[in-house]
Amino acid sequence: MNTHSTEPKTENKEEFRDHLATVTEEGKRIWVYPKKPKGKFHRARVVVAIILLAILFLVPLIKVDGHPFMLLDILGRKFILFGVVFGPQDFHLFVLSIIGLIISVFLFTVVYGRIFCGWICPQTIFMEMLFRKVEYWIEGDANKQRALNKRPWDGQKIFKKGLKHFIFAIMAVAIGNALLAWVIGFDSLVELISRPIPEVFGKFMAMVIFSGVIYFFYAYFREQVCTLICPYGRLQGVMLDPDSIVIHYDHVRGEPRGKIRKGEERNLGDCIDCHLCVDVCPTGIDIRNGTQLECVNCTACIDACDAVMTKIKRPTGLIRYASKNEIESGVRKIFTPKAIGYTIVLVLLFSFITFLLATRSDYELSIVRTAGLMAQEQPDNKISNLYDVKIINKTFNTGETTLELENIEGEIKVVGGDLSLQPQEVSEGKIFVIIPKEKITKLNTPIEIAVKTNNKVIDVIKTSFLGKIKGRKFGE
Ligand code: SF4
Ligand code: SF4
């Protein structure tokens, strides 16, 4: 499953390509017992994970003017981002953002490899920072877990396994509910939970299944989500190139590897073949074989190897963030011209999407003369034109809409009452624009109509006023 690789220096150097590290030749799964990671990268990842988990669990609680600060109602095609609501009318923005996101992911991966997998991906965060932590807490480090699994089902094993899976189930339900709160909103979630189960049986069952899937993923399926299912992981082979920055073993410095033997002069590389980088790997691979599809860039092997290097008084960084070219040339060059170019494109792309989102209007208005109708004579030497009005209200605001002529004397009458504004709705109606005859000097007089809601001008629409009355010449 190697994508492109630094040359492995093991005797049977190509053997690892023939199978997944976590599957036997007979196709049976090898359960991975990664050693507890520790080190500066792990500490940094814990901080990032705490921030991301806080966002997941707390953001659905935030409200702006009584509405969610963030909402991703995919089924209802309604999104609220940072308090700004996006509905079906903003579909073009949604499509553009998705395209932008896909291009960004591609560009980002070409330059920075799988940083996303190790630091941000929910699968890694939930697995390594929640479920695995509970497992270490209850069952102990890798060796203790192995021993516990081999042990017969005595009281202690039943207690530890029972407690672990009970906490796993609670966490799965909590994650499932947090994700649901992002989709339906926290208030709707609370309402759903507080209703008797028979009343919301379908939704309740959907939640049970959803939480069950989360539990199954983290209790049993684990790293296989990354190695077997995740399309992003499987696309690495085509996205990474020799300049991509990924977690690399410096084979130039490390090989030939070999154990330290007391009293013997060492003519080997820096790798002392202690196997710790493999022992901590949550996907069970040996990074010394080169970049592999299964590597989720979790940095555990960097921390493990740095600790070893410090102990044997060698420079840290035998395993580090680096590109294949950097390792082979020995020149540390993170920002290659390509990396700079792609980063600029990324920044421009994000700026463009941000600009589109920031400049999007809260209302969409159109006022057009009703097709096929001439002007009509009105009492007091006035003439009128009929117009179709359409107002798309993208906000949560309500209120009555008033229309006023801006650049010419006259009045506007709404046919059939008022044009009231409903949140997130489209208001349609017809209006008469009535103007004194003496003000109409042209066949088509440009007019401007100010649209106000709650006494605030939301837009000024330019249209035209037809001066010709049916059956008469213009001006008669
Ligand atoms: S942790 Fe470092 S020294 Fe130990 S086997 Fe891995 S690369 Fe070699
Ligand atoms: S090889 Fe290193 S970075 Fe990659 S998954 Fe294993 S421990 Fe994490």
Q: Which atom of ligand 2 is nearest to the CA of 280?
A: 7
Q: Mean pLDDT over residues 143-163, rounded?
A: 95
Distance 247 CA to ligand 2 centre (A): 7
Ligand 2 environment, Cβ below 6 A:
247, 280-283, 285, 287, 295-301
Give yes or no for a contact between 413 and 432, defined as CB atoms under 8 angstroms apart.
Answer: yes
Instruction: Give me the mean pLDDT over the 75-101 stretch.
Output: 80
User: Which distant-in-sequence residues (6+ apart) come within 8 Å of 21 by Cβ?
Assistant: 30, 283, 284, 285, 286, 294
Once rounded to an integer, what is the mean pLDDT over residues 117-128?
94
pLDDT given for residue 9 in this prediction: 43
pLDDT per position as a tens digit, 176-190: 999 999 999 999 999
Mean pLDDT of the chain: 87
CA 390 to chain centre: 34
- Quick check: 6 pLDDT over 50? no
252 has a pLDDT exceeding 80? yes
Other C-beta atoms closer than 10 Å to the C-beta of 51 total: 10
CB 391, CB 419: distance < 8 Å: yes
Question: How far apart, in whole angstroms, are the C-alpha atoms of residue 376 and residue 383?
Answer: 6
pLDDT, mean of residues 111-116: 85
Residue 51 and residue 45 in contact, taking contact as beta carbons nearer than 8 Å: no
Q: Tell the residue nearest (CA) to atom 4 of ligand 2.
A: 295
Percent of the chain with pLDDT over 70: 93
pLDDT grade, residue 120 (50/70/90)?
very high
Q: So what's the pLDDT on residue 334?
A: 64
pLDDT in the model for residue 153: 95
Asked if residue 318 lies in contact with residue 309, where contact means CB atoms within 8 angstroms, the answer is yes
Measured CA to CA, the distance from residue 370 to residue 415 in angstroms comes to 13
Indicate whether residue 277 lines ligand 1 (CB < 6 A): yes
> At residue 403, does pLDDT exceed 80?
yes
Distance CA 123, CA 120 (A): 9
| Distance between start and end Cα atoms, the chain | 86
Rounded distance from Cα 276 to ligand 1 centre (Å): 6
- DSSP assignments along 354-389, one per residue: HHHHHT--SEEEEEEEPTT--BEEETTTEEEEEEEE
pLDDT at 473: 67
**323 in Cβ contact with 246 (< 8 Å):** yes
Pocket flag, ligand 1, residue 275 (CB < 6 Å): yes
pLDDT score for 187: 92
Which of the four pLDDT bands, split at 50, 70 and 90, describes residue 332? low
What average pLDDT does this structure show over 64-87?
85
State how far the Cα of 25 lies from the Cα of 20, in Å rounded to an integer.
9
**Section 387-408 average pLDDT:** 86
The yes-or-no verdict on residue 2 having pLDDT over 60 is: no
Cβ(276) – ligand 1 distance below 6 Å: yes
Is it the case that residue 19 has pLDDT exceeding 80? Answer: no
Long-range Cβ pairs for the range 131-137 (8 Å, 24+) = 131/168, 131/171, 131/218, 131/219, 132/34, 132/282, 134/164, 134/167, 134/168, 134/171, 135/164, 136/36
pLDDT value, residue 273: 94
- DSSP H helical ranges for 185-323: 186-194, 201-216, 224, 231-234, 236-239, 251-254, 276-279, 300-311
Average pLDDT over residues 57-68: 91
- Can you read off the two tokens belonging to residue 50? 């705490």
Neighbours of 139 (CB within 10 A): 20
Q: How far is CA 474 from the centre of its chain?
A: 61
Q: Which residues have a Cβ under 8 Å from the Cβ of 401 and sit 6 or more positions away? A: 391, 418, 419, 420, 421, 427, 451, 452, 453
Q: What percent of the chain has pLDDT over 90?
A: 47
Q: Looking at 147-161, 314-328, 413-427, which range is the least confident one?
A: 413-427
- Ligand whose nearest atom lies closest to the CA of 282: 2
**Bridge partners, residue 369, by sequence:** 387
Give the CATH number of domain 363-466.
Answer: 2.60.40.10
Domain boundaries, the chain: 363-466
pLDDT at 365: 87
| Of 25, 44, 5, the residue nearest 287 (C-alpha) | 5
Predicted confidence (pLDDT) at residue 16 exceeds the cutoff of 80: no
Least confident of 40-44, 120-124, 293-297: 293-297
Q: Measuring CA to CA, which residue among 217, 283, 199, 204 is closest to residue 247?
A: 283
Residue nearest to atom 6 of ligand 2 (CA): 281
pLDDT score, position 468: 76
For 225-278, where are the E strands, in sequence order? Answer: 246-249
Ligand having the closest approach to the CA of 248: 2
SS3 label, residue 438 = helix
pLDDT-derived band at 7 (thresholds 50, 70, 90) equals very low
Buried b (16+ CB within 10 A) or exposed e, 259-273: eeeeeeeeebbbbbe
